[in-house]
Structure 1
Amino acid sequence: MSRPQRLLGFDYGTRQIGVAVGQTLTGSAQPLCVLRARDGVPDWQQIAALVGEWKPDALVVGLPLNMDGTPSAMSARAEKFARRLEGRYQLKVHCVDERLSTFEAKQSLRDSRRTPSSYRDDPVDALAAALLLQTWLGEQPMEQP
């Protein structure tokens, strides 16, 4: 049986990048933070600090596909971000279909009666990152004891 893994998940965007942390032992993920980006370019020092602090075994990046499953205009940018993560940190990077993760995150916040002003306390992009990381974890085969 392989050891449990810790992962960081990224909901890539041109202005903000949501980040979540999760692990394979429980198959759960939780929102971590939102990083600012400039035209899709993150502050790589902030990402390096997160990688240094959380010491993930792998990374997961959401792939924004169209509803019919075809690549969207943002898909190429998200894939480039994933390649850069892999190159910079020498970690395995998995891409996961993130269709509706941001919509689901906003709906979840609405359902919990949080107002837009309270999103700073539970940012929608970080929640979307947790949802896409949760999706990836749910797609992994269960380990047998």
Structure 2
Amino acid sequence: MATYLGFDFGTLHVGVAVGESITGGARALATIGPREWERLDALIAEWSPTALVVGLPLDEDGSEQAITARARRYARAIAQRSRLPVYTCDERYSSLAANSALAARDGPRPAGNDAEAARIILEQWLSQADTTATQTPPTR
């Protein structure tokens, strides 16, 4: 069984989820700041993932937007820091799906969907890992 950590990158918050290959399922873990490296290190140490997956924010038509480059930089930074393979995954509509899932479970929630979005991104990647994953190479 391989364990993975998934990330929903944002400029203020990064949602984190953990998932595994056997079931293809994931669960929301935490929300951290984009520069909370010690918390990131602790999550990696706790879960010992095989690889990391970062959601790549794209426009509806699949084109890149300003935050896409920042998410790619984050993916490169965590690849370099963790020395683990890091993959990116199209995250279009993950926040909307997270809001819907949380509203169905807990009623309307205006915020706090970052970890839930990371869960959705990771489950999507796990279901499509053979065909749509792109590994982000570490920078030197």
Deviations 1:14-44 (A, max 9, x none): 110000000101111100011124xxxx210
Matched, 1:46 2:43: no
Deviation at 1:113, TM superposition (A): 4.1
Gaps of 5+ in 2: 131-140
Matched, 1:17 2:10: no
Query: Deviating runs (4+, > 6 A) in structure 1?
Result: none
Which one of the candidate residues 71, 75, 100 is aligned to 1:78?
71
Deviation at 1:114, TM superposition (A): 2.3
Aligned match of 2:123? 134
Number of residues of Structure 1 aligned to a counterpart in Structure 2:
130
| One-letter identity of the residue aligned with 1:130 | R
CA contact (8 A) 2:54 2:71 kept: yes
Gaps of 5+ in 1: none
Aligned match of 2:113? 124
Aligned match of 1:35? 32
CA contact (8 A) 2:15 2:114 kept: yes
Helix, strand or coil for the counterpart of 1:30? strand
Highest Rg: 1 or 2? 1
CA–CA distance in structure 2, aligned partners of residues 129 and 136 of structure 1: 10
| One-letter identity of the residue aligned with 2:37 | W
CA–CA distance in structure 1, aligned partners of residues 19 and 71 of structure 2: 20
Deviation at 1:111, TM superposition (A): 2.0
Q: Which of 89-98 and 102-111 deviates more?
A: 102-111
Deviation at 1:132, TM superposition (A): 0.3
Aligned match of 1:94? 87
